[in-house]
Structure 1
Amino acid sequence: MSETAPLSDLVWTRGYTDPAWIRRFTSAGRELSPSRRVWRGGEPARPLPEAPADLDSLGLPDLFAAAQTDAFLVMHRGTVVHESYPHGAEAHIPHFNASAAKSYVGLMAATLAHQGLLDRTARASFYVPELSGTAFGDARVQDLLHMGTPVSYAGRPFDKAMEAHRYHAVIAPRLRPYGYNGPTTIREHLLTARAGGAPGTEFRYENGNVEALAEVLRRITGLTTSDLLSDLLWARLGAEEDAYYVLDSEGVEAACGGFSATARDVARIGELLRCGGAVGNRQVIPEEVAATIVSGVPDGYPRRVRFPAAPPNSPADLSYHDLWWILNDPYGSYMASGIHGQRLFVSPGLDLVVVHFGSQVMSPAVRPAPLVKAFLRIGVHLHSGGS
Structure 2
Amino acid sequence: MTETAPLSHLLWSRGYTDPAWIRGFTSQGRELSPSRRVWRGRAPARPLPHTATDLDALDLGTTDTGPLKLADLFAAARTDAFLVLHRGQVVYERYLHDFDACAPHFNASAAKSYLGLVAATLAHQGVLDRTATASAYVPELAGTAFGDARVQDLLHMGTRVSYAGRPFDKATEAQRYQAVIASQLRPFGYSGPTTIREHLMTARATGAPGEGFRYENGNVEALAEVLRRVTGLTTSALLSDLLWTKIGAEEDAYYILDQEGLEAACGGFSATARDVARLGEMLRCGGAVGDRQVVPEEVAGTITSGVPDGYPRRVRFPAAPPDSPATLSYHDLWWVLNDPYGSYMASGIHGQRLFVSPGLDLVVVHFGSQVMSPAVPPAPLVGAFVRIGVHLNSSGVR
Q: TM-score, normalised by structure 1?
A: 0.97
**Separation in 1, partners of 2:7, 2:379:** 26
Amino acid paired to 1:14: S
**Separation in 2, partners of 1:149, 1:100:** 20
**Separation in 2, partners of 1:311, 1:8:** 21
**Is 1:275 matched with 2:275?**
no
Does the aligned pair in 2 maintain the 1:108–1:232 contact within 8 Å?
A: yes
**Is 1:125 matched with 2:135?**
yes
Deviation, 1:313, is 1.3
Residue aligning to 1:11: 9
**Is 1:149 matched with 2:148?**
no
Amino acid paired to 1:282: R
Give the count of matched residue pairs: 383
**Separation in 2, partners of 1:140, 1:11:** 37
Does the aligned pair in 1 maintain the 2:7–2:13 contact within 8 Å?
A: no
Does the aligned pair in 1 maintain the 2:35–2:255 contact within 8 Å?
A: yes
Residue aligning to 2:223: 213
Question: How far does the alpha carbon of each residue in 1:69-90 deviate from its partner, in whole angstroms, 9 at most, with x for none?
Answer: 0000000000000000111111
Deviation, 1:149, is 0.3
Amino acid paired to 2:183: P
Deviation, 1:10, is 2.6
Does the aligned pair in 2 maintain the 1:242–1:261 contact within 8 Å?
A: yes
Consecutive unaligned residues of structure 2, counting only runs of 5 or more, are 59-68
**Separation in 1, partners of 2:328, 2:7:** 30
Question: How far does the alpha carbon of each residue in 1:241-286 deviate from its partner, in whole angstroms, 9 at most, with x for none?
Answer: 0000000000000000000000000000100000000001100111
Residue aligning to 2:31: 31
**Separation in 2, partners of 1:69, 1:360:** 7
**Separation in 1, partners of 2:8, 2:165:** 19
**Separation in 1, partners of 2:141, 2:351:** 33
Residue aligning to 2:63: none
Does the aligned pair in 2 maintain the 1:11–1:177 contact within 8 Å?
A: no
Deviation, 1:7, is 5.7
**Is 1:335 matched with 2:333?**
no
Residue aligning to 2:208: 198
1:87 to 65, 89, 97: 97
Deviation, 1:63, is 0.1
Q: TM-score, normalised by structure 2?
A: 0.95
Residue aligning to 2:55: 55
**Separation in 2, partners of 1:62, 1:31:** 31
Deviation, 1:54, is 1.2
**Separation in 2, partners of 1:174, 1:264:** 31
**Separation in 2, partners of 1:174, 1:61:** 36
**Secondary structure at the counterpart of residue 81 of structure 1:** strand
Deviation, 1:144, is 0.1
**Is 1:358 matched with 2:368?**
yes
Identical counterparts, % of pairs: 80
**Separation in 1, partners of 2:194, 2:264:** 13
1:239 to 249, 259, 264: 249
